[in-house]
Amino acid sequence: MAAPAPQQEGFHDCRDAWARTLEDLAARDPRIVAVVNDSVGSSKLGGFQKTFPERLVNVGIAEQNMVGVGAGLANGGKIPFVSAASCFLSGRALEQIKADIAYARFNVKLVGQSSGVAYGELGPTHHSIEDFAWLRPLDAITVIAPADAWETEQAVRWAAAHDGPVYIRLSRMPVPDLTVKDRVFRPGKAEMVLAGSDLTLIACGTTVHLAAQAAATLRAEGISVRLLNMATLNPLDEEALAAAASQTGAIVTVEEAHIRGGLGGAVAEFTAGHHPVPVERLGFPGFVVTGSVNFLFEHYGITPHGIIAAARRALARKQ
Amino acid sequence: MLKNNTVQTIRDKALWMRRRAFTMVHDAQLGHPGGDFSAIDIIATLYFGVMHYDPTKPGLENRDRFIMSKGHATGALYTALCAAGYYPEEWLDTYMQPNSKLNGHPNRTYLPGVETNTGPLGHGMPVALGIAIAAQISGQDHRTFVLTGDGELQEGSNWEAAMTAGHRKLETLTLIVDRNRLQQGMGTEDTNGLDPLDEKFRAFGWEAVMVDGHDIGALLDVLAPARIGKGRPLCVIANTVKGKGVSFMENKASWHHGVPNAEQYRIALEELV
């Protein structure tokens, strides 16, 4: 198991918000069940298991079975939250997700834990940087990567109430709460964290707060930076993208995922077809080298410094 | 006497299903008639002698469920659901035509009575397991039946589900294996052998029985009795003949997805009486 990242003041592990919210929802709705692959601890579902032992279905280390069971539970009138490390959930059970959940449109919530490179030194077998690319084309599935604990709770609550498949991508990396005024969670809509007109930074999940730091530096230099928290990757908020492209003319995407097929891929697809503007994509170029999660973020430039450099490249291309 | 009537009713339905399915395959020049015909007697027995359901209420909470894991055998499934009253016979005429609800593999959002989408093999068992677990959690007594091919059991997902079903003692879950001993290319035992199949399931905590999959009376005897109190899931290994009922199709792997020409179609309908 990877060493936990040092806990910083004001930073939260979003899994706590997820587990707390699920327990609260389950207390109100008997249809809610959890399905795991021996992942009670890593999903922080110990409390759920204690309170609702009969509603915690542990199929053991068997992800294909786990996802198929989720579809069956939905057929039987339950609202299953299938929770597992996202590398195994999205990779090992991809065909079940495609055929049993997306194509069959079962009301199943998939919760990918410790996504991205959260497992650090354990390496690419345990990383989940391909999940966006794998799941984004599965139209029926709403794909959400919450940026902080608040958004995690909102996403879980929304998923429970929504009749349809959802993939919620969580991390074990502590992140700070975003400061956004009068915040409202709107699935499928980008959240305008900062308004601006020179350049748009688009981030999701664990990278939004890094992009916010980069934006602060750039704004201090007089560059009017827009920052979008694109928590929902599918369906994509094309309206916000069209506005970003036409109003700011340059985009930088930042994600804890593969640079192909994820947030950056989605933005590039849309802008190429509708509003061609320079797009710089930050993420992982492929299987990563050995190192801690913090080392990997540094090594691949997914840092405020790396985002600022990408922003300068995008601005240079714009001119 | 009552059982004799039931057997006759099921035989009549199965005969209609074979003729209708073969017509669909002939008209579409697409389909999997060999696997349709090995499974039809089993499916007819379930729908017309065993299962409780209401075709006017396909979402009925405590309905018995049937999962067609060998989703390619749509000729068998679509004719059964039609005969059970889920939709009118005209729908069968659209089999695999552009925009038809009757896709080459079943889709629950297209057709009432389809419990889940299947097609890729090894998907039905986990879904059926999930349905049975939902019933276990809710205290419902309905049964869940899943039909797999035999070659399909080479997919590991089936065994993941079999392990869990045995572990949870899911007595309301019944698996029927369409044991026609042929997969797409050749015999199962020449490809990746399955025998002894009954012992495998017993080792996973199941009750396992062998039956002639074309003997309606024998199928009723093993499938109809209630399972409450049995304490174990049931695996029925139904020994069948791929292409059963048409002389030139029987036990021929080439009829896995072979389609008839006009002369073969004429001969088959002469034999299916």
Look at residue A4 and tell me if it is in a domain: no
Pair A16, A165 in one domain: yes
With beta carbons less than 8 A apart as the criterion, state whether B105 and B118 touch: yes
Q: B115–A68: do the CB atoms touch at under 8 Å? A: no
Could you tell me which of A176, A78, A140 has the C-alpha nearest to residue B107? A140
B65 vs A: CB within 8 A: yes
Q: What was the pLDDT predicted at B185?
A: 80
**Res B1: pLDDT:** 60
Neighboring chain B residues of A26 at a CB cutoff of 8 Å: none
Tell whether B192 lies on the interface with A, counting CB pairs under 8 A.
Answer: no
The tens digit of pLDDT for each residue in A247-264 reads 999 999 999 999 999 999
Distance in angstroms (rounded) separating the CA atoms of residues B144 and B122: 16
Average pLDDT, chain B: 97
Put simply, the answer to whether B130 touches A96 (Cβ < 8 Å) is no
Asked if A221 has any chain B CB less than 8 Å from its own CB, the reply is: no
Q: With beta carbons under 8 A apart, name residues in chain B contacting A75.
A: 65, 115-116, 127, 130-131, 134
User: pLDDT tens-digit profile of B65-95?
Assistant: 999 999 999 999 999 999 999 999 999 999 9
Mean pLDDT of chain A: 96
**Is residue A2 pLDDT above 60, yes or no?**
no
Task: Tell me the average pLDDT across B242-254.
Answer: 94
Range in A114-118, B2-6, B20-24, B115-119 with the lowest mean pLDDT: B2-6
The answer to whether the Cβ–Cβ distance between B134 and A100 falls below 8 Å is no
The minimum CA-CA distance between A158 and chain B, rounded to whole Å, is: 23
Residues 124-143 of B with CB under 8 A from A: 125-135, 137-138, 140
- How far apart CA A214 and CA A315 sit, in angstroms, is 14
pLDDT, tens digit (0-9, with 9 covering 90-100), for A142-155: 999 999 999 999 99
Number of domains in chain B: 1
Residue A275: name the closest of A319, A222, A318 by CA.
Answer: A318
Cα–Cα distance for residue pair A307/A137, rounded to 1 Å:
27
Cβ proximity of B14 and B40 under 8 Å: yes
Segment B153-198, tens digit of pLDDT: 999 999 999 999 999 999 999 999 999 999 988 999 999 999 999 9
Q: Which residue of A has its CA nearest to B155?
A: A64
Q: Say how far apart CA A143 and CA A167 lie, in whole Å.
A: 5
Do the chains contact at B130 and A68, CB–CB below 8 Å? yes
Domain with A71 in it: what CATH number? 3.40.50.970
Look-up of token digits 């009017």: A224
Is the bond into B196 cis (omega within 30 degrees of 0)?
A: yes
CA dihedral B9, B10, B16, B18 (to 10 degrees): -160
Q: What is the tens place of the pLDDT at every residue in B119-133?
A: 999 999 999 999 999
Kindly state the average pLDDT of the residues B241-249: 96
Å between A189 CA and nearest CA of chain B: 27
- pLDDT of A1 strictly over 60: no
Mean pLDDT, range A62-75, rounded to an integer: 98
**CATH classification of the domain holding A313:** 3.40.50.920
Q: At residue A223, does pLDDT exceed 70? A: yes
Say which of B108, B118, B131 has its CB closest to residue A76.
B131
A240 and A147 within one domain: no
- In this structure, what are the phi and psi dihedrals at residue A240, rounded to the nearest 5 degrees? -65, -35
Whether residue A319 has pLDDT greater than 80: no
B134 with A76: Cβ contact below 8 A: yes
Please compute the mean of the pLDDT values over residues A299-312 and round it to a whole number: 98
Boundary-marking domain end, from A120, A143, A176: A176
pLDDT band at residue A180 using 50, 70 and 90 as cut-offs = confident
Q: What percent of chain A has pLDDT over 70?
A: 98
Please give the residue range of the domain that contains residue A214. Answer: 191-318
pLDDT score, position B3 = 85
Q: Do B116 and A106 touch (CB under 8 A)?
A: yes
- Domain co-membership, A79 together with A152: yes
Please give the pLDDT value at position B4: 87
A6 burial via Cβ count (<10 Å: 0-12, 13-18, 19+): exposed
Same domain for A132 and A18, yes or no, is yes
Distance CA A221, CA A31 (A): 53
Stronger pLDDT, A222 or B4, i.e. the higher one: A222
Inter-chain CB pairs, A–B, below 8 Å: 105
Tell me, what amino acid is at A273? Answer: G
Query: Which among A76, A100, A105 has the least Cβ separation from residue B123?
Result: A100
Q: Does residue A93 lie in a domain region?
A: yes
Q: Are residues A117 and A208 in the same domain?
A: no
CATH of the domain at B98: 3.40.50.970
User: Is residue A268's pLDDT more than 80?
Assistant: yes
Please check whether residues A312 and A202 belong to one and the same domain.
yes
- A contact residues 40-79, partner B, Cβ 8 Å cutoff: 54-55, 57, 59-60, 62, 64-78
Contact, A248 vs A278, CB < 8 A? no
What average pLDDT does range B143-151 have in this prediction?
Answer: 98
Distance CA A261, CA A222 (A): 33
Which chain A residues have a beta carbon less than 8 Å from that of B133?
A: 57, 69, 72-73, 76
Boundaries of domain holding B7: 2-271
Judgement on whether residues A196 and A170 belong to the same structural domain of the protein? no
Residue A7's pLDDT is: 59
A21 contacts A156 by C-beta, under 8 angstroms = yes
Taking CA atoms, what residue in A is nearest to B158? A65
Give me the mean pLDDT over the A231-243 stretch: 98
Please identify, among A176, A203, A223, the residue that sits at the C-terminal boundary of a domain.
A176
pLDDT, mean of residues A181-196: 95
Residue A16's closest CA among A159, A176, A172, A145? A172
Q: How confident is the model at residue A9 (pLDDT cuts 50, 70, 90)?
A: confident
CA distance linking residue A115 with residue A127, whole number of Å:
7
pLDDT in tens, B44-62: 999 999 999 999 999 999 9
Q: Are residue A214 and residue A304 in the same domain, yes or no?
A: yes
DSSP string of chain B? -HHHHHHHHHHHHHHHHHHHHHHHHHHHT-S-HHHHHHHHHHHHHIIIII----TT-TT-TT--EEEESSTT-HHHHHHHHHHTTSS-GGGGGGTTSTT-SS-SS--TTTSTT--S---STT-HHHHHHHHHHHHHHHT----EEEEEESGGGGSHHHHHHHHHHHHTT-TTEEEEEEE-SB-SSSBHHHHS---SHHHHHHHTT-EEEEEETT-HHHHHHHHSS--TT--S-EEEEEE--TTTT-TTTTT-GGGSS----HHHHHHHHHH--
Residues of chain B in contact with residue A67, where contact means CB-CB under 8 angstroms, are 126
pLDDT at B126: 98
ipTM, 2 dp: 0.96
For an interface test with B, give the residue of A69, A79, A94 to mutate (most B CBs within 10 A). A69
Structural domain tally of chain A? 2
Among B61, B109, B161, beta carbon nearest to A77: B61
